[in-house]
Amino acid sequence: MSSAVFIAALAAVVLATSQDNETAPPPQASNHKSTTLTDDESNNIAVFSDVSPSVVFVTNTQLRRQMFSLNVMEIPKGSGTGFIWDEEGLIVTNFHVVYRANKITITLQSGKSYDAEVVGTSPEKDIALLRIDAPDEKLKAINLGDSSLLSVGRKVLAIGNPFALDTTLTVGVVSALGREIKSISNRTIKNVIQTDAAINPGNSGGPLLDSMGRLVGVNTAIFSPTGASAGIGFAIPVNTVKVIIPQLLKYGRLYRPILGIETLTLTDYWATRLRVKGVAILSVKKGLPAENAGMIGVREDRRGNIHLGDVIIAINDEPVTNEDSLLSLLEQKGPGDTIKVTTLRNEEIQNYEVTLSSPET
């Protein structure tokens, strides 16, 4: 082959190659990040990205007078977590996070801080409802789930501010359902969710979420001998919170119907003597349901001897052993509901049909 022919052939090859490169699509950059994620990891990232803007940092500040100058200064009392309930600025957190606070500050994910007012509190359920005025912020309310659909083994995620490390994600499962814990007021909180998702100091008041990013509980406590997470955390179920929040918004407290009595938990002496546990009626209030039904309280005879009146031992055949159990049963009812109250009086069983009234304001 002559040199002229060879050069012409080589030029044709180069031209064809050049034309192929111009018409071929550009190479696709490999998405190394997405191809190395499992479905579970992708879900964790998606839930955190979607819900974290709804999670807030709560700071509890108290006023203290300096010993020598007598000047009043603000002292940080503690911190915790909360979340945005609605776009109007309502914030939900634990009652113990804001307990005895002179000032409460809410810090949003944007970094802006706002003073909060207390709308209502429920110490017996460890829930507090706050409000901030944040006109320049686009507040994102958390999505509500249904805690009755939970089962042991289901994945849950917690977002909070443990040890003041803001917006931290932990992941676990529902370890148990139907637990009971004591609130700051020594009342029993029932149907609590147990989880092994790490809940450290500072996580209190934060959301417990399902894999769809919906609120299923409010993280409230841990069981730990050291104070750090030991894989046993507790959350108040969202279905309980759904009932409480409207009451706090309207009344500022839990709206519990009343019998109209003052109570006295039986001492061990009386419990042994009567061979029963219950709540003694110390006195009945005039014109209220208990008196209208014919119930009586403690009486003193002419000799100064004290005699018990009615001792409540059951509500609608559910045992009443102390004031906590009595209040828990009443909280399941509303004003106007009629209940059966079973008492022991003079060693005889009495049954009363009582229509509950609205709480005193």
Active-site residues, by number, are 96, 126, 204
Q: What is d(CA 330, CA 157) in angstroms, rounded to the nearest whole number?
A: 33
Cβ–Cβ under 8 Å, residues 283 and 309: no
| Cα→Cα distances 140→50, 55, 127, 333, Å | 10, 9, 20, 33
Cβ–Cβ under 8 Å, residues 95 and 241: no
Sign for the pseudo-dihedral over CA of 261, 262, 265, 271: negative
Q: What is d(CA 301, CA 56) in angstroms, rounded to the nearest whole number?
A: 60
Q: What is d(CA 311, CA 256) in angstroms, rounded to the nearest whole number?
A: 21
Residue 54, classed as helix, strand or coil, is helix
* Phi, psi values for residue 52, rounded to 5°: -55, -30
